[in-house]
């Protein structure tokens, strides 16, 4: 009702022209994401053909100009903290609390407001959502072993830390801070028209970095992360340490530890 599962999507990869900066805005058009770069201001839909090309084949390259990280299950294990926040928020609002499994199963639906609406069985207001964010204020997280050192190594090499997450920007900023992390480029699920496994967020990150989506490696633990990367024409790197990792999901590479991401860079 409120979203789609991973299997509802089958996107060809796409490479767009190389924008130098980006802006995004929502309007009445369904393609409200707007990119601004060498092609000027164009709609998300137009960006696919503006100065670029389409690539429907799988990418087997193991090099990239930049890496992009998923957040939950990739940078840190939030499999307890985030579901607990949803359950407590539902209880505060007078709804039966959801189980951790129910919350995690709803992740592909979209950002927190979509997940909360699904779990509550009706749309919720912005005021209702404050119950969820109030719970996140108490979150305590630890990065997976090797994450902090790997992000430090990227920055030491002059590479920005880029994160594309299905969580909202507000939730992402709170959770990253709780884990003692930050991102130089952050795109939340509430800032793109479609949730993963659609590739929208990777197009935004590529625009911010000034590279083509095909020059990215997207690192994530879930099948939706892998499919989003492949839909964008990016290198799909599965994070085997994450709690949603599925070895049956085809990926361009499988990383055993965060530091392996450094070997993907050209």
SS (H, E, C) the chain: CCCCCHHHCCCCEEECCCCCCCCCCCCCCCCCCEEEECCEEEEHHHHCCCCCEEECCCCCCCCECEEEECCECCCECCCCHHHHHHHHHHHHCCCCCCCHHHHHHCHHHCCHHHHHHHHHCCCCCHHHHHHHHHHHCCCCCCECCCHHHHHHHHHHCCCCCEEECCCCHHHHHHHHHHCCCCCCEEECHHHCCCCCCCCHHHHHHHHHHCCCHHHEEEEECCHHHHHHHHHHCCEEEEECCCCCCCCCCCCCEEECCHHHHHHHEC
**Catalytic status, residue 128:** no
Structural tokens at position 144:
């997976």
Which listed residue (7, 27, 70, 246) is catalytic?
70
Which residues are catalytically annotated?
A: 70
């Amino acid at each position: 009702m409120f979203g789609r599962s991973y299997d509802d999507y089958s996107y060809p990869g796409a490479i767009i022209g190389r924008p130098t900066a980006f802006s995004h805005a929502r309007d009445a058009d369904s393609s409200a994401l707007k990119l601004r770069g060498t092609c000027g201001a164009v709609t998300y839909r137009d960006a696919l053909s503006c100065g670029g090309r389409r690539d429907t084949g799988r990418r087997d390259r193991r090099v990239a100009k930049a890496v992009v990280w998923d957040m939950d299950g990739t940078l840190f294990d939030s499999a307890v903290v985030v579901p607990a926040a949803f359950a407590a928020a539902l209880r505060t609002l007078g709804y039966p609390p959801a189980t951790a499994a129910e919350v995690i199963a709803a992740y592909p639906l979209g950002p927190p407001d979509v997940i909360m609406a699904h779990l509550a069985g009706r749309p919720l207001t912005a005021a209702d959502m404050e119950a969820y964010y109030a719970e996140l204020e108490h979150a305590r997280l630890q990065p997976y072993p090797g994450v902090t050192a790997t992000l430090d190594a990227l920055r030491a090499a002059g590479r920005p830390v880029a994160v594309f997450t299905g969580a909202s920007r507000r939730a992402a900023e709170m959770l990253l801070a709780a884990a003692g992390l930050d991102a130089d480029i952050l795109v939340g699920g509430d800032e793109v028209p479609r949730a993963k496994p659609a590739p929208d967020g990777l197009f935004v990150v590529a625009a911010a970095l000034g590279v083509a989506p095909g020059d990215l490696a997207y690192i994530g633990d879930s099948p939706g992360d892998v499919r989003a990367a492949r839909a964008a024409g990016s290198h799909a790197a599965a994070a085997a340490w994450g709690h949603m990792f599925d070895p049956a999901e085809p990926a361009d590479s499988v990383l055993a530890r965060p530091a392996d991401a450094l070997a993907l860079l050209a």
